Amino acid sequence: MMFPRPLVAAIFDLDGVLVDTAKAHYRAWKRLADELSIPFDEKANEALKGIDRTRSLEIVLSAGTRLFNPTERAALAGRKNAWYRAEIAELTPADLFQGAREVLCTLRKAGLGIALASASRNAPLLLDRLAITDIFDAIIDPASIQQGKPAPDIFLAAARALSAPPGECLGIEDSVAGIQAIKSAGMAALGIGDPAMLTQADRTIDHISQFRLTDFVSPWGSQP
Ligand code: BG6
Ligand code: MG
């Protein structure tokens, strides 16, 4: 896809885009589901990608028959989060996906604004473990957002924080909900993953290391 207008900003998801934590989220949900004898597998997990913790728990529990009151639900979400946090506490900058730092640096050098639009409340901790906090011009706090993905809110908030018109932003996502959010925000969407899954994406690549800024350069050369 050639970009119709100059690209001024790139807005990134984190889990599954810059680092392999989508799998850590899956393992923690799977552990919880197994303990509760609720069926859950990688296919079911696709529906959780990009979705906040509370809503994700509702989706996991909906495959079972037992009802939980709000206090019990909070405790279950807390247990999942504790397992997840124990996993990410071990991460180091070497765990960034291969090529991820280079992509962020290339975008910076090209003068683009860079923002993070992750649904994860653990994103600041993760960025810190990976030593990439300073690369971002804006990090949107999901707690400040009214409606989570697939609503466009978090991507629009990122564009606002960068003073970038949404039509000149590229969103980068590995989840169906995230790609939907980017498109609803009126942005170009780069999917990381299976094109058969991420059907709304303007372009799909397997891995962040395949990202080339020139793929989004307009033919008349308004981009570096
Ligand atoms: C998203 C993940 O990035 O963050 C979801 O794709 C996760 O799987 C969501 O549920 C919320 O994360 P957290 O760390 O706040 O529980
Ligand atoms: Mg993701």
> How far away, in angstroms, is 165 Cα from ligand 1 center?
26
- 36-56 mean pLDDT: 97
- Angle subtended at Cα 118 by Cα 112 and Cα 119, rounded to the nearest 5 degrees: 155
Of 79, 120, 128, the residue with max ligand 1 atoms within 8 A of its CB, to mutate for a pocket test, comes to: 120
- 7-33 mean pLDDT: 97
Of 23, 52, 61, the residue with max ligand 1 atoms within 8 A of its CB, to mutate for a pocket test, comes to: 52
- For atom 16 of ligand 1, which residue has the closest CA? 53
Q: Give the tens place of pLDDT for each residue, 49-81.
A: 999 999 999 999 999 999 999 999 999 999 999
113 lines ligand 1 (CB under 6 A): no
Distance CA 92, CA 10 (A): 24
> How far away, in angstroms, is 1 Cα from ligand 2 center?
22
- For atom 11 of ligand 1, which residue has the closest CA? 120
**Strands (DSSP E) along 64-218, which ranges?**
113-116, 138-139, 169-173, 188-192, 203-205
Domain regions of the chain by residue span: 9-20+93-215, 22-88
Q: Give the tens place of pLDDT for each residue, 103-154.
A: 999 999 999 999 999 999 999 999 999 999 999 999 999 999 999 999 999 9
Confidence at 6, pLDDT banded by 50, 70, 90: confident
> How far away, in angstroms, is 55 Cα from ligand 1 center?
10
- Give the contacts of 91 (CB within 8 A, at least 6 positions apart): 19, 21, 126, 129, 130
Fold of the domain built from segment(s) 22-88: DNA polymerase; domain 1 (1.10.150)
Q: For residue 99, is pLDDT > 70?
A: yes
> How far away, in angstroms, is 52 Cα from ligand 1 center?
5
The predicted structure's pLDDT at residue 219: 47
- 30-46 mean pLDDT: 97
The predicted structure's pLDDT at residue 213: 87
Residue 25: count of CB within 10 angstroms of its CB: 25
Q: Give the tens place of pLDDT for each residue, 143-199.
A: 999 999 999 999 999 999 999 999 999 999 999 999 999 999 999 999 999 999 999
**Which CATH entry fits the domain spanning 9-20+93-215: 3.30.390.50, 3.30.70.100, 3.40.50.620, 3.40.50.1000?**
3.40.50.1000
For the CA of 80, the nearest atom of ligand 1: 16
pTM of the model: 0.94
Taking the CA atoms of 149, 152, 156 and 157 in sequence, report the sign of the dihedral they define: negative
The predicted structure's pLDDT at residue 70: 97
Catalytic, 15? Answer yes
Helix (H) or strand (E) holding 208: none
The predicted structure's pLDDT at residue 3: 56
Residue 203 forms beta bridges with which residues? 190
